[in-house]
């Protein structure tokens, strides 16, 4: 990662204005689009001109080595304070996320499932889900979530942080769907889970896929992510070095060796 002294391009300020629906540029605008994103942790330049498009309902694997900038890219899209977006545009369903705070982006449909899952201690499974629904717009009902996540239904009254890692991951995904999510961002959903649990989470994500949620999945288990995905992006040193189909990455051993070391 390189460092800049000057602070780079002009900063994009979050605004509190309401956003009218406006058309994105181009004849057939993508459902989600990032244009030339540059983001920094202080002086540390970590997202270095990232651009890509996603069609509605597509699932895209965002891959790359440790430290490539995958988490930082998801955090930039979700408009978290760090890393700070200093240049670029982010559009989701005609809404300019680049002008929003994290709270506004979440309200516009960005559902980040972070690596650490952020399950709230002291609350039961059901309380965690209900907490996600205190603000509109609401997504799936609690009943519908329990239909799709029977393990959570069984454990609805259990303190959520006492569940296994796999169950907590299910809760983290369910909590995102409890909101009206238009773009699901999954950061390492299989991390730290035994293979049998990975398969369970995979089944849930297959189901999420058939239901048409537009999704970006970041995963160290690149092969598993590629099997789930339509498309793949590879990040290296904060830049996109490959944008193509998941199949192309599966079939290209040289590409995988060069950027993913698999
Ligand atoms: N809070 C932070 N402050 C400063 N630098 C950071 C911070 N978080 C991450 N970085 C740096 O930003 C770069 C990109 O990190 P990021 O976490 O986005 O990578 P990643 O691709 O998600 O890696 P991993 O596969 O290990 O999760 C790395 O060089 C990392 O050290
Ligand atoms: Mg990461």
Asked whether 69 lines ligand 1 (CB < 6 A), one says yes
198 domain residue, yes or no:
no
CA dist 111 → 17, 42, 54, 126 (Å): 21, 25, 15, 18
130 domain residue, yes or no:
no
CATH no. for residue 34? Answer: 3.40.50.300
DSSP-assigned beta bridge partners for residue 186: 113, 217
Number of domains in the chain: 1
- Give the range of the structural domain holding residue 235, as residue numbers without chain letter: 1-16+29-56+63-107+226-262
- Of 47, 70, 42, residue with least CA distance to 1: 47
Mean pLDDT of 163-190: 96
Query: What is the model's pLDDT at position 29?
Result: 65
95 domain residue, yes or no:
yes
* 18-32, 65-79, 115-129, 200-214: the lowest-pLDDT one: 18-32
Query: What is the model's pLDDT at position 190?
Result: 94
152 domain residue, yes or no:
no
Give the model confidence (pLDDT) of 91-129 as tens digits: 999 999 999 999 999 999 999 999 999 999 999 999 999
Ligand 1, pocket-test mutation among 61, 62, 72, most atoms within 8 A of CB: 72
Considering every ligand atom, which ligand is closest to the CA of 235?
Answer: 1
Q: 249 and 77 in contact (C-beta within 8 Å)?
A: no
How far apart are the CA of 18 and the centre of ligand 1, in A?
A: 32
CA dist 228 → 90, 112, 202, 225 (Å): 24, 18, 8, 5
240 domain residue, yes or no:
yes
Query: What is the model's pLDDT at position 262?
Result: 83
Give the model confidence (pLDDT) of 39-83 as tens digits: 999 999 999 999 999 999 999 999 999 999 999 999 999 999 999
Asked whether 221 lines ligand 1 (CB < 6 A), one says no
How far apart are the CA of 143 and the centre of ligand 2, in A?
A: 32
Asked whether 83 lines ligand 1 (CB < 6 A), one says no
Question: Which is the closest atom of ligand 1 to the Cα of 235?
Answer: 21
What residue has token string 């490959």? 242
Name the pLDDT band for 37 (thresholds 50, 70, 90).
very high
Asked whether 125 lines ligand 1 (CB < 6 A), one says no
How far apart are the CA of 243 and the centre of ligand 1, in A?
A: 21
Q: 151 and 170 in contact (C-beta within 8 Å)?
A: yes
190 domain residue, yes or no:
no
Asked whether 2 lines ligand 1 (CB < 6 A), one says no
162 domain residue, yes or no:
no
Overall pTM surpassing 0.75 (yes/no): yes
Give the model confidence (pLDDT) of 220-237 as tens digits: 999 999 999 999 999 999
Q: Does residue 202 have a pLDDT over 70?
A: yes
11 domain residue, yes or no:
yes
């Amino acid at each position: 990662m390189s460092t800049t002294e000057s602070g780079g391009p002009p900063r994009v300020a979050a605004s509190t204005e309401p956003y009218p629906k406006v058309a994105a540029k181009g004849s057939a605008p993508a459902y989600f689009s990032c244009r030339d994103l540059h983001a920094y942790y202080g002086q540390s330049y970590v997202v270095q001109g990232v651009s890509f498009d996603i069609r509605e309902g597509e699932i895209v694997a965002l891959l790359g080595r440790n430290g490539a900038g995958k988490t930082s890219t998801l955090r930039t899209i979700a408009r978290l304070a760090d890393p700070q977006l200093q240049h670029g545009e982010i559009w989701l369903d005609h809404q300019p996320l680049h002008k929003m705070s994290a709270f506004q982006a979440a309200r516009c449909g960005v559902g980040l499932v972070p690596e650490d899952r952020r399950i709230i201690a002291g609350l039961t499974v059901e309380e965690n889900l209900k907490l996600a629904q205190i603000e509109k717009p609401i997504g799936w009902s609690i009943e519908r979530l329990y239909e799709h996540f029977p393990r959570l239904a069984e454990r609805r009254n259990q303190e959520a942080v006492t569940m296994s890692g796999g169950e907590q991951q299910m809760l983290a995904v369910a909590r995102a769907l409890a909101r009206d999510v238009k773009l699901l961002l999954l950061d390492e959903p299989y991390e730290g889970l035994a293979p049998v649990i990975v398969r369970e989470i995979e089944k849930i994500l297959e189901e999420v896929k058939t239901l048409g949620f537009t999704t970006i999945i970041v995963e160290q288990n690149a092969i598993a992510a590629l099997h789930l995905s339509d498309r793949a992006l590879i990040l290296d040193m904060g830049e996109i070095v490959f944008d193509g189909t998941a199949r192309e990455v599966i079939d290209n051993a040289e590409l995988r060796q060069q950027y993913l070391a698999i």
